[in-house]
Amino acid sequence: MDVFLASLSALGQGFANLTWQATVMLLLGCLLLYLAVARGIEPLLLIPIGFGVILGNLPLAGLSAQDEHGVIKLLYDAGILTELFPVLLFIGLGAMIDFGPMLANPMVLIFGAAGQFGIFLTLFLALALGFAKQEAISIAVIGACDGPTAIYVTSKFARDLLPAVSIAAYSYMSLVPILQPPIMRFLTTKKERATVMPAADKKVSKKVKILFPVVAGILTILIAPMGAPLMGMLMLGNFLKESGVVDRLTKVSESTLANTVTLFLGLCIGASMLGANFLQWRTILILLLGLVAISLDTVAGVLLGKFMYVVTKGKINPLLGAAGTSAFPMSARVVQKVGQKANPRNFLLFHAIGANTGGQIGSVMAAAVMLAIMAGMGIGPLP
């Protein structure tokens, strides 16, 4: 009988060790799964994260990112601590991007820089709220609207913040269609929004498309070598695609590689969201600062757009500035939608896609520059 009772009690150990924080996290994991499946919000990422949250918070399961000898800890150490996952993801991103619209109208690259302004203003705010320098950098980079870049920088400087930063970066990317339009409407007049831009029928030669990733990779890495893993892999992926001679590698990069890494990345991040660490005021503060960062990116982009509108005497639609963030292609679609609402004859999508790809380069460049400046100040990454 004793043996029977002992074995029975061992079976119930999970329930006995279930804390209120773990219970809240299990509910949060279920909520993420619901949002992904029922609402279709970023399912590729929210399903692995949501399931990771559930697995990581089940007591005694040994599946959190902190459980020694656990399979997820193994993935976490190999892919997140080494920064391998975000870097590999960039090969896939590069293979998916078509820089054509940006190459046809390189001026839109400037919007890609303005779209990063929120990063640097949020850095100020985070410092003012008492976050350490490395933490402030990691929080500010949420404003890049670029999940892999945010994860890369945070895993270098503030691993404790990784769950909150990644959740913020990815959720705000999907919230761009809700966040940006009110800011765009508030900062522009109907006349400005209705500005019709000439049809973008300029074509770019294949040679330019092939040379761009090589030249851009060399130039940007020479300026900010610390960002080489991100920029280098992004340009490698794009070169695979544009070279046109390695279809198999391109297909693997944009599908199998990107999907596999996204699965493991999401799972590891979810499994690192442990109740005791995640359910803190700091997490809410980080989520709020991320929101501020992305809003400020939009504000800076639209204001630059207004400046260009004045300088070019009304030839550039200021809404284009909002596409300078890295949320691809959501920002570009938002610009098209808001522009067409003001003037049904308005077709801004091609121009906006150009600004949006410029934003992707801009976000990686901004992160690379920050890393380089930090290194120059003697603030190195975590061991």
Partner 1 sequence: MDVAFGVTMMVMGMGVTLITLYLLSLVIGLLVKLFPYKAEEEKQE
Could you list the residues that contact partner 1 (CB under 8 A)? 102-103, 106-107, 109-110, 112-114, 116-117, 119-121, 123-124, 127-128, 130, 133, 137, 202-208, 211-212, 215-216, 219-220, 223-224, 358, 361-362, 365-366, 369-370, 373, 377
Least Å distance, CB 114 to partner 1, is 8
Residue placing its CB nearer to partner 1 in the complex, 237 or 362: 362
Q: What CA–CA distance (Å, rounded) separates 286 from 160? A: 12
| CA-to-CA dists, residue 309 to 194, 304, 315, 322, angstroms | 12, 8, 6, 14
The CA radius of gyration of the chain, in Å to the nearest whole number, is 22
Residue 5 vs 377, nearer CB to partner 1: 377
| 169 vs 265, beta carbon nearer partner 1 | 169
Q: How far apart are CA 98 and CA 353, in angstroms?
A: 9
Q: Of 48 and 362, which CB lies nearer to partner 1 in the complex structure? A: 362
The CB-of-147 to partner 1 minimum distance in angstroms stands at 19
Nearer to partner 1, 100 or 339 (CB): 100
Output the six-digit token pair for 41: 């919000």
Question: For residue 128, how many other CB atoms are within 10 A of its CB?
Answer: 9
CA-to-CA distance for 222 and 307, rounded, in angstroms?
31
Distance CA 11, CA 352 (A): 57
Buried b (16+ CB within 10 A) or exposed e, 208-239: ebbebbeebbeebbeebebbbbbbbbbbbbbb
- Burial level of 99, CB count in 10 A (0-12/13-18/19+)? buried
The C-alpha angle 376, 381, 383, rounded to 5 degrees, equals 140
| Residue 289 C-beta: closest distance to partner 1, Å | 14
Least separation in angstroms between CB 186 and partner 1:
23
Cβ proximity to partner 1: between 41 and 208 the closer is 208
Structure tokens, 172: 């705000």
Shortest Å, Cβ 322 to partner 1: 17
Cα separation, 240 vs 343, in Å, equals: 39
Name 353's Cβ contacts closer than 8 Å, sequence gap at least 6. Answer: 98, 101, 102, 323, 329, 332
Q: Kindly tell me which of 216 and 246 has the beta carbon lying closer to partner 1.
A: 216
Q: Is 219 or 310 the residue whose CB approaches partner 1 more closely?
A: 219
- Least distance between partner 1 and beta carbon 377 (Å): 8
Residue 58 or 361 having the CB closest to partner 1: 361
Nearer to partner 1, 111 or 278 (CB): 111
Name the minimum Å distance from CB 17 to partner 1: 41
The tokens 């939608």 sit on which residue? Answer: 337
Shortest distance in whole angstroms from residue 32 CB to partner 1: 32
Cα–Cα distance for residue pair 25/49, rounded to 1 Å: 12
* Alpha-carbon distance values, 104 to 233, 357, 365 (Å): 23, 12, 21
Shortest spacing between CB 357 and partner 1, in angstroms? 12
Do 106 and 208 touch, CB atoms closer than 8 A?
no
What minimum distance in Å lies between the beta carbon of 44 and partner 1?
Answer: 29
Structure tokens at 322: 């909002």
